[in-house]
Amino acid sequence: MKPNGLKLERVGIVAKVHAKEAASVVRTLVKWFGERGIETFVEGSIAKKARGSESFTLDELPRDLSLMLVLGGDGTLLSAARAIGSKQIPILGVNLGSLGFLTDVALKDVYETLESILRGEATIDSRMMLRVELLRKDETVASEIVLNDVVITKGAIARIIEVGVEIDQQFVALIRADGLIASTPTGSTAYSLAAGGPILHPNLDAIILTPICPHTLTYRPVVVAGGAKVELTLRGDSGEVYVTFDGQTSQRMQSGDLVRVRQSRHQVKLVSPPGKNYFQVLRHKLRWAERPRSRRTTTPPKP
């Protein structure tokens, strides 16, 4: 992490439109920024409910934004990160949901955090991203950049799929499982963690390969260098199989399709309050070191 050095002049605001407090929070933020001479732009889905600001869409971002303020959960932030792409606009994630590793600023702390940005005290953390290509007979069907993960998984039919794994043109294994996750260190606390993958510090330069419910228990998650070229080939007739990018978009796969995963030259810049570190976030979100609540009852046990 490094001091932010941000000069807030033009701020974009993206909010989870279905969050009940989103509209009122956005209106208050627009007023707060305006009182400080900071121009604001509000994403279209919530802009109609926020007066005194210009609207924009994620497909066409305003020019020269100093900061993107995201109100919602990790899904909302992932959408904004995908839209930003190579523009390198710092993102401040404010949590309006129940669990968010990327939107780690509580709503009650948002103005204190913004003040710290104005004072130059907040920090910017650069996060690795992955470039993912879906190839079919040497033709590119889809090309995406992901911050968390790319997932190959079966559809509604309960059938094991087979994925051939190669790393730097070296055959690794033929994985038979419900699916396979290729994740960044940032995404290590998302789907990969639920599937039994390890937690990696987001500053590490690595890619995690995590099988989903493998047919053979000896298939375990593998961590490879961030610069490795990972190639995942769908084998056999596995019915409906999809590749999903950051949980946002997906493509149906055919037997023989190749998913190529490489480190992107672009990074996402996340703004954090001063003094906050990754392990604090883990302790809070995963409830580490908390004792389970004891169940008390006044009813005597039955004989």
| pLDDT (tens digit per residue) in 220-251 | 999 999 999 999 999 987 679 999 999 999 99
pLDDT of 213 > 70? The answer is yes
pLDDT of 281 > 90? The answer is no
Give the per-residue pLDDT at 275: 83
Comparing 23 with 133, which gets the higher pLDDT? 133
Start and end residues for every CATH 3.40.50.10330 domain found in the chain: 2-122+273-286
Give the per-residue pLDDT at 301: 55
Q: Which amino acid is at 41?
A: F
Rounded to the nearest integer, the mean pLDDT of the chain is 89
In whole angstroms, give the CA distance from residue 23 to residue 274: 27
Start and end residues for every CATH 2.60.200.30 domain found in the chain: 129-265
Strand partners, 70: 14, 93
In the residue annotation, 168 being an active-site residue is answered as no
Q: Does domain 129-265 have CATH number 2.60.200.30?
A: yes
Give the per-residue pLDDT at 299: 59
Give the per-residue pLDDT at 229: 98
Give the per-residue pLDDT at 48: 74
Q: What is the largest CA-CA distance in the chain?
A: 73
Give the per-residue pLDDT at 45: 78
In whole angstroms, give the CA distance from residue 80 to residue 145: 12
Q: How confident is the model over 2-58, as pLDDT tens digits? A: 555 688 999 999 998 778 888 899 999 999 999 999 999 999 878 776 665 788 999
Which residues, 6+ apart, have CB-to-CB distance to 54 below 8 Å?
Answer: 40, 41, 42, 47, 62
Share of the chain above pLDDT 90, in %: 66
What architecture is the 2-122+273-286 domain classified under in CATH?
3-Layer(aba) Sandwich (3.40)
Give the per-residue pLDDT at 113: 94
* Weakest-pLDDT range from 97-101, 105-109, 158-162: 97-101
| Catalytic residue (choose from 74, 104, 149, 246) | 74
Which residues, 6+ apart, have CB-to-CB distance to 270 below 8 Å?
Answer: 90, 91, 92, 93, 102, 124, 125, 126, 127
Average pLDDT over residues 286-290: 77
In whole angstroms, give the CA distance from residue 202 to residue 184: 8
